[in-house]
Amino acid sequence: MSGMTRRERPYQLFYWPSIPGRGEFVRLVLEDSGAPYVDMARGSGGAKAIFRVLASTGAVPPFAPPVLRHGELWIAQSAVICRYLAERHGLAPKTAADRLHADQLQLTIADLVSEAHDTHHPISVGLYYEDQKREARRRSNAFREARLPKYLGYFERVAKRGRGFLIGGRASYVDLSMFQVLEGLDYAFPKAFRRVSRSCPRLLALRDRVRTRPRLAAYLASDRRLPFNEQGIFRHYPELDG
């Protein structure tokens, strides 16, 4: 590989091997682009590959995975990685203003992801769910009743303004991330999601449109796509779904 330019090298993704998590937002951009990449921790080295990266002393060391390596460049933060890949592979909006608005939406999606995570870990990520079940129930009630409708209502309003997509009048990485969040919420809170999403027809249509994009459809049917599970961000605990 040494004689290759940065452009030609496969991307290297470092993310926990057993959950879709935040790594999945990156994978969707890579898969939809058809860009070559190696999912480093899913190889024989496992999570050790991630710990090595986190302990590294690169220009700006990453705080947490996902981390993307592209030649000499190492970057972290899922929103930044998605934007970087999208700009290289035709999945970013065209104008500077639309790109800023894509950041705005992507970071709002990241906020929603964090709040969904905190429903089962409201006190500490250092404790098991079983050690914070009572608080998780209270947090989930508030999430289902107030935050979920507020977030989905907001994104539905954004979708209403767009022409079938969230930003820029064409498919972008933000649509792919919206797809993933909707899938995750549907998995974690099937009852609440069904109720709230009834008033979000455009988001549901967007989800279907993303799911059938040819490269993504092939990916979703492959064993590269990790299923949601109870170690990840979107966990299904019936007691938290009301």
Ligand X SMILES: N[C@@H](CCC(=O)N[C@@H](CS)C(=O)NCC(=O)O)C(=O)O
Q: Which residues bind ligand X (CB under 6 A)?
A: 21-22, 64-66, 77-78, 110
How far apart are the C-alpha atoms of 117 and 220, rounded to whole Å?
A: 23
- Token representation of residue 117: 């995570």
| Residue with smaller CB distance to ligand X, 35 or 80 | 80
Shortest gap between Cβ of 29 and ligand X (angstroms)?
13
Q: What is the CA radius of gyration of the chain?
A: 18
| Residue with smaller CB distance to ligand X, 22 or 213 | 22
Shortest gap between Cβ of 236 and ligand X (angstroms)?
17
3-state SS, 103-132, equals HHHHHHHHHHHHHHHHHHCCCCCCCCHHHH
Shortest gap between Cβ of 145 and ligand X (angstroms)?
25
| Residue with smaller CB distance to ligand X, 53 or 166 | 53
Shortest gap between Cβ of 61 and ligand X (angstroms)?
13
| Residue with smaller CB distance to ligand X, 168 or 232 | 232
Nearest alpha carbon to residue 233 among 189, 193, 199, 201: 189
CA angle 66, 70, 74 (to 5 degrees): 55
Cβ distance 216 to 31 under 8 Å? Answer: yes
| Residue with smaller CB distance to ligand X, 181 or 200 | 181
Shortest gap between Cβ of 194 and ligand X (angstroms)?
26
Q: Characterize the bridge pairing of strands 37-39 and 11-14.
A: parallel
Q: How far is CA 183 from CA 109, 117, 236, in A?
A: 13, 14, 12
